[in-house]
Amino acid sequence: MLKRSLLCFLLCSTASLTVLFVRELQAHQDREQANLVHSCRTEQPQSFLAFGGGGAASYNEIALEKNMLYFQRTLQAMRYNPTVAPIFFANGNSGQATVRYLDPQGEEKFKVPQIPNLQGASTPANLRRSLQQLTQYPGIPIFFYFTGHGHFNQNNTDNNGIYLWGDQQMSVQQLSRLLDRLPSETPFVTMMSQCYSGSFANLIYKGGDPKQGIALQTRCGFFATIKTEPSVGCTPEVNEADYQDYSSSFYAGLSGRDRLGQSVASADYNQDGRVAYAEAHAFAKVEEQTTDLPISTSEAWLQRQSSPQFQEQILVQPIANLLKTARPEQRHVIERLSAKFSFRLGQSLAENLSPIDEQKLDEVEQAYLTRLAVELENVGLEQQVRQSGNQSAIAILDRLLKCEADSWGRP
Shared-domain flag, residues 198 and 126: yes
In angstroms, rounded to a whole number, what is the distance separating the alpha carbons of residues 289 and 331? 19
Do 291 and 312 belong together in one domain? no
Domain end, chosen from 263, 296, 329, is at 296
Domain-embedded: residue 409:
no
Is residue 273 domain-resident?
yes
CATH number of the domain that 106 lies in? Answer: 3.40.50.12660
* 83 and 4, same domain (yes or no): no
Residue at 253 is within a domain: yes
Domain boundary among 296, 329, 357: 296
338 and 362 co-located in one domain? yes
In a domain, 74, yes or no: yes
Question: CA-CA distances (angstroms) from residue 87 to 42, 122, 160, 208?
Answer: 24, 8, 23, 24
Domain boundary residue among 264, 296, 328?
296
pLDDT values of the chain reduced to their tens digit, one per residue, 411 residues: 333 333 333 333 333 333 333 333 343 334 334 344 444 444 568 999 999 999 999 999 999 999 999 999 999 999 999 999 999 999 999 999 999 999 999 999 999 999 999 999 999 999 999 999 999 999 999 999 999 999 999 999 999 999 999 999 999 999 999 999 999 999 999 999 999 999 999 999 999 999 999 999 999 999 999 999 999 999 999 999 899 999 999 999 999 999 999 999 999 999 999 999 999 999 999 999 999 999 999 999 999 999 999 989 998 999 999 999 999 999 999 999 999 999 999 999 999 999 999 889 999 999 999 999 999 999 999 999 999 999 999 999 999 999 999 999 654
102 and 138 inside one domain? yes
For residues 103 and 100, give the distance between their C-alpha atoms in angstroms, rounded to a whole number: 10
Q: Write the secondary structure of the chain as one string of H (helix), E (strand) and C (coil).
A: CHHHHHHHHHHHCCCHHHHHHHHHHHCCCCHHHHHCCCECCCCCCEEEEEEEECCCHHHCEHHHHHHHHHHHHHHHHCCCCHHHCCEEECCCCCCCCCEEEECCCCCEEEECCCCCCEEECCCHHHHHHHHHHHCCCCCCCEEEEEEECEECCCCCHHHCEEEECCCEEEEHHHHHHHHCCCCCCCCEEEEECCCCHHHHHHHHEHHHCHHHCECCCCEEEEECCCCCCCCCCCCCCCCHHHCCCHHHHHHHHHHCECCCCCECCCCCCCCCCCCCHHHHHHHHHHHCCCCCCCEEHHHHHHHCCCCHHHHHHHHCCEHHHHHCCCCHHHHHHHHHHHHHCCCCCCCEHHHHHCCCCHHHCCHHHHHHHHHHHHHHHHHHHHHHHHHHCCHHHHHHHHHHHHHHCCECCEC
The answer on 199 and 312 residing in a single domain is no
Residues 321 and 248 in one domain: no
Whether residue 98 sits in one domain with residue 188: yes
94 and 193 inside one domain: yes
Whether residues 93 and 210 fall in one domain: yes
Are 189 and 217 part of one and the same domain? Answer: yes
Q: Distance between CA atoms of 407 and 276, rounded to whole angstroms?
A: 5
- Decide if 19 is inside a domain: yes
CA 99 to chain CA centroid, Å, is 23
Radius of gyration of the chain (CA): 22
- 144 and 268 in a single domain? The answer is yes
Within a domain: 407: no
pTM as predicted: 0.89
Domain residues for 7? 1-35
For the chain, the domain total comes to: 3
